[in-house]
Amino acid sequence: MNPSPSDRTYPRRRSILKALAATPLLTACVTSGNDDQPAAQSGTKSAQNPLGVKEDAPLEVVIFKGGYGDDYAKKAEDLYKQRYPKATIDHKGIQKVGEALQPRFVANTPPDVVDNTGAGRLDLATLVGAKQLGDLSELLDAPSFEDPNTKVRDTLLPGVVEDGTFDKQVLTLNFTYTVWGVWYSKSLFASKGWTYPKTWDEMLALCATIKGAGIAPWTYQGKYPEYMNDPLLTMAAKTGGMDLVKAVDNLEPNAWKAEGLKGAAEAFAELAAKGYIMAGSEALSHTESQASWCQGKAAFIPCGSWLESEQKDITPKGFDMVMGAVPSRTGGDKLSGAAVQAASSESFLVPAKAKNVAGGLEYLRILFSKQSARSFAESAGTLPAVAGAADGLTLSSGLGSVRDAVTAAGKDAFTYRFRTWYAPLAKAVDDATGELINKRATAAEWAERIQKAADAVSKDSNVKKYTR
């Protein structure tokens, strides 16, 4: 996993999309439970209490206290207390979630709500297999906190429900929303009269101009070529549409040899062939490459929407970083030019063996309200998973551009899931892309290498398969 300034101050690619590959702090010793735990507490359902919360039932909330802190969670608890004043709330803000909670899951005495985030989080695959996670469908079908005529599921951004779905059950709900794109300095572009390109031909033409101005067109987080996968795979999805994305995730034969993927690989190979990637980028860490970019040594860098916050201490005043959507490669793309790769993170769950399941669900209904999400966006500088929560806010240049990108993409926000489902395949893609953009492999060799890895996963009977 990439190094991080904290356990998860601003989650990087693998920490977001490889939840199933997290450090397995829960092992086979976790069982599906016994009958010794107290009966779950519940009350009478009503229009004001759609989930049947017992008004005086205690609620225990465990929050990962990382880069976002835990004040946002406490504010949601305050709203819970306003609705249920007889309830006592036990709030725990911690960092090593897995270490603290593993014994409690083993003993079937888990908290009522868990923010399962950070480098030491609980392993979702084990929790799912042991049936330790409560089904969140009732929450999603309940009326939202602010609008009784709108279900909770209908307030969430694209992909959020699917991100928490395992074998057709929604078992986690992610609170933040990460978007991937290509970043540049708005002030630099304005001073040079450059316009962000909408097509790949425009990108190549602009790269020639940038190089002529004595600036490297691109750099990337060289030690972690997965960062360059994001624009490459986004371009492929735009060309081939969701049929291509699903074929890849479903391990379909020859999926990686599709024209959309080969074409995208050719496009990024051309960046390298024309000398448009900053010399020495391959040897740089994420912090080193991003620092070079902030220093004006390169015009473009691929990254997720955490970049602005991660760079806040070293970004020059007036740099005004913004994120653009990956340019389209063909005129016949199946997804719009505004399409972006996006996924939710900061995973919340209600344990199946919690004492106050109804209270846990109600807490999440409050946390995922527009009111709570809007407060989070203001304090954390990160886009929440609730649609429209950041609308109308005065945001920084980077976060504002991310919000605008999500709005422009609409239903064309998408994500691949193979990274979450199949860690060996994810590594094979990373390695192959590193070879591609450093001129040690052709696009055809890139596709062949990854297809072999996908076929190996497909044929391995020990690997649980998922479909979408």
Q: Quick: pLDDT tens for 29-70.
A: 455 544 444 445 777 899 999 999 999 999 999 999 988 889
For 418-462, the pLDDT digits (tens) are: 988 898 999 999 999 999 999 999 999 999 999 999 999 999 999
pLDDT at residue 104 above 90?
A: yes
The pLDDT value recorded for residue 359 is 98
| 106: its two tokens | 């083993």
- Predicted confidence band at 9 (pLDDT cuts at 50, 70, 90)? very low
pLDDT band at 282 (very low <50, low <70, confident <90, very high): very high
pLDDT confidence band for 229 (50 / 70 / 90)? very high
The pTM assigned to this predicted structure is: 0.82
Rg, Å, the chain Cα set: 23
Residues 406/342, Cβ–Cβ less than 8 Å = yes
The tokens of 51 are what?
């989930």
- For the chain, counts of helices (H) and of strands (E): 18, 11
The answer on pLDDT for 322 being more than 60 is: yes
Tell me the CA end-to-end span of the chain in Å, nearest whole number: 26
Q: What are the structure tokens assigned to 89, written together?
A: 């709330």
Q: 404: burial class by Cβ within 10 Å (0-12, 13-18, 19+)?
A: middle
The pLDDT of residue 224 is above 60: yes
Would you call 160 exposed, middle or buried from its count of C-beta atoms within 10 A (0-12, 13-18, 19+)? buried
Distances (CA, A) of 52 to 39, 114, 155: 15, 20, 21
Amino acid at 249: D
Name 16's Cβ contacts closer than 8 Å, sequence gap at least 6: 178, 304, 343, 345
- Looking at the predicted structure, is the pLDDT value of residue 8 above 50? no
Domains within the chain, CATH numbers bracketed: 13-170+350-390 (3.40.190.10), 179-341+418-459 (3.40.190.10)
Are the CB atoms for 412 and 340 separated by under 8 Å? yes
Res 31: pLDDT: 52
| Residue located via tokens 């992909």 | 159
Looking at residue 52, what is its pLDDT? 96
Q: Please compute the mean of the pLDDT values over residues 194-210 and round it to a whole number.
A: 98
